[in-house]
Structures are given as structure tokens and as C-alpha cells.
């Protein structure tokens, strides 16, 4: 019997789920508050590519991610996702919700509750903005072992900063993204909780430490 982690029952909101994976030996951390965020990915399904942005400043600077940020007061998460995508990449897209992550990092003032969105079409070529430098990457097959791939990329590219690889730069993304990347590629909605130890944004370094910042994780697909 799998046990839904604290904080996820509300997000699941009665939807049926099936455990996809879990790990880590710690107990779930308590967190003082929750703040809502969004993260949006554009997928070019014709050419098997994904649009990611290189974060130029602020929280998690120097990593690649989808586009997003805080949900402002008076906004729905979907409205925030559209706004952030336009602000950070100059793009409009028919975003569809595909998942939610509850994400807590030791000693942070709040847990991130991140609604994840995707779209298969977009209005115009993405542009570089103050916050993000967009770039298209090749998508691996969803059956790929993402941890092995991330380890290989991390061995091949040990320097920090922008990547030289053509494939999705898993070694320079949030570590938990390796766990749910197959679900995003195959468009299976999910919810997950991830607890991380302090200072867990990815850095170049030993591949064997790739998942080290993850203290505990639980990811389940949503079933009809
Ligand atoms: N893919 C992924 N995204 C994550 C993880 N953790 C995490 O905070 N994010 C996303 C949520 C947001 O899109 C982004 C953090 O937002 P941000 O750095 O733009 O926050 P901010 O306070 O600057 O917000 P804003 O000014 O843009 O509104 O990172 C994660 O583990 N995986």
C-alpha cells in the first residue's frame, strides 16, 4: 500500500492515482507554508524537441528549465503560466496542465507547489529575455534511463554554465526532473512530492552524486 505524502492529498483532490516511483530513506519534512508557482514546457512533437530556458539570474540561476514563476494575487495558475511564458520567452501557447509538484528544500520559508503545463504549438520563435535564454533540445525516448543519461552527460561536460549538448541537458536541470521526465515526454499526468537537502540546485560535479540532493521522493500518475 503506498501512502500519499503530506500535502499531496489536497493536490490530488480525490483523483485516482498509481504509484510510479518513490525513494529516499528520510521522513517527510514539515514546512511552514506553501507558495504557488508554475512551470511551462513547449514540445515540438514533429521534430521530437523541447524548449528549455537557461536561467540567467535569481533562484536556480545557471540551470535549464521550463518557463515559470510565482502565481500573483488574483491570478489563476493557468493565467500565471501564460504570463510567465510570455515574459520569459516572448511566446504564447495553448498550455495544458500535466502535473503538479510539491517541492520542499531544507530551511526554506515555504514549499513550492508547482503546476506544470505543456503545449505542442506556439505563437512565434522564442526570444531571449532578461531572465531566460531559450533553446531547443532533442528529446530522448521515454524508455531511456534518465539517470544513466544524466550521468553520462555530467561526465562528458563537467564545466558550469551553458551546455554544449544537443540532447535535453538533464545534468543541468533540477534533479527531480530526471524522475518525471518520462511522464512528461509520454504525456502522462502526475503528481509528486520531492524533499531536497540544502543547496540542491544542480552543479557540475561527480555523476555519482547526481541524485544526492534528493532526500525523499514520491511520484504517482493520475488515472481516470
Ligand atoms: N522543473 C522544475 N521546476 C522547478 C523545480 N523547483 C522549482 O522551484 N521549479 C520552478 C518553479 C518556477 O517555474 C521556477 C522558480 O521560479 P522563479 O525562479 O522564476 O521564481 P521567482 O521568485 O523569480 O518568480 P517570478 O519573479 O518569476 O514570479 O522554478 C523543480 O524541481 N523542477
Please give the tally of structural domains in the chain.
1
Does a structural domain hold residue 44? yes
pLDDT over 90 (residue 55): yes
Does a structural domain hold residue 3? no
Cα(39) to ligand 1 centroid in Å equals 7
Of 65, 111, 131, 196, the residue with max ligand 1 atoms within 8 A of its CB, to mutate for a pocket test, comes to 65
Does a structural domain hold residue 83? yes
**Which domain range does residue 184 map to?**
8-223
How much is the pTM?
0.93
Nearest to 196 by CA among 82, 131, 91, 102: 102
Does a structural domain hold residue 1? no
Cα(70) to ligand 1 centroid in Å equals 7
**What integer is the mean pLDDT of 161-165?**
92
Tell me which long-range contacts 154-157 makes (C-beta under 8 A, separation of at least 24). Answer: 154/204, 154/205, 154/207, 154/210, 155/207, 157/204
The pLDDT value recorded for residue 74 is: 97
CATH of the domain at 167: 3.90.79.10
Does a structural domain hold residue 186? yes
**C-beta neighbour count of 41 within 10 angstroms:** 22
Does a structural domain hold residue 2? no
Does a structural domain hold residue 189? yes
Cα(79) to ligand 1 centroid in Å equals 16
> Which ipTM was obtained for this model?
0.92
With H, G, I as helix, E, B as strand and everything else as coil, classify residue 11. helix
The pLDDT value recorded for residue 158 is: 84
The pLDDT value recorded for residue 135 is: 98
Does a structural domain hold residue 205? yes
Question: Could you tell me the pLDDT band of residue 212, with boundaries at 50, 70 and 90?
Answer: low
- Phi and psi angles of residue 80, each rounded to the nearest 5 degrees, phi first: -65, -40
103 pocket-lining for ligand 1 (C-beta < 6 Å):
yes
Nearest to 128 by CA among 51, 38, 45: 51
174 pocket-lining for ligand 1 (C-beta < 6 Å):
yes
Nearest residue (by CA) to ligand 1, atom 27, is: 69
* pLDDT per residue as tens digits for the range 82-112: 999 999 999 999 999 999 999 998 888 999 9
Amino acid at each position: 500500500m503506498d501512502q500519499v505524502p503530506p500535502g499531496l492529498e489536497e493536490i490530488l483532490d480525490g483523483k485516482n492515482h498509481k504509484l510510479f516511483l518513490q525513494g529516499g530513506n528520510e521522513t517527510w519534512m514539515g514546512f511552514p507554508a506553501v507558495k504557488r508557482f508554475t512551470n511551462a514546457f513547449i514540445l515540438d512533437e514533429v521534430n521530437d524537441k523541447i524548449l528549455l530556458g537557461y536561467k540567467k539570474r535569481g533562484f536556480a540561476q545557471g540551470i535549464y528549465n521550463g518557463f515559470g514563476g510565482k502565481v500573483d494575487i488574483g491570478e489563476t495558475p493557468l493565467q500565471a503560466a501564460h504570463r510567465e511564458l510570455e515574459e520569459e520567452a516572448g511566446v504564447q501557447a495553448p498550455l495544458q496542465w500535466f502535473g503538479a509538484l510539491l517541492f520542499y528544500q531544507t530551511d526554506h520559508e515555504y514549499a513550492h507547489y508547482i503546476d506544470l503545463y505543456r503545449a505542442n504549438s506556439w505563437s512565434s520563435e522564442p526570444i531571449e529575455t532578461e531572465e531566460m535564454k531559450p533553446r531547443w533540445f532533442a528529446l530522448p525516448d521515454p524508455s531511456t534511463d534518465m539517470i544513466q543519461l544524466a550521468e553520462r552527460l555530467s561526465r562528458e561536460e563537467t564545466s558550469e554554465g551553458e551546455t554544449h549538448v544537443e540532447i535535453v541537458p538533464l545534468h543541468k536541470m533540477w534533479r527531480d526532473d530526471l524522475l518525471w521526465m518520462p511522464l512528461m515526454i509520454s504525456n502522462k499526468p502526475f503528481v509528486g512530492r520531492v524533499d531536497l537537502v540544502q543547496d540542491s540546485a544542480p552543479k557540475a560535479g561527480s555523476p555519482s552524486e547526481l541524485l544526492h540532493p534528493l532526500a525523499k521522493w514520491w511520484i504517482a500518475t493520475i488515472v481516470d
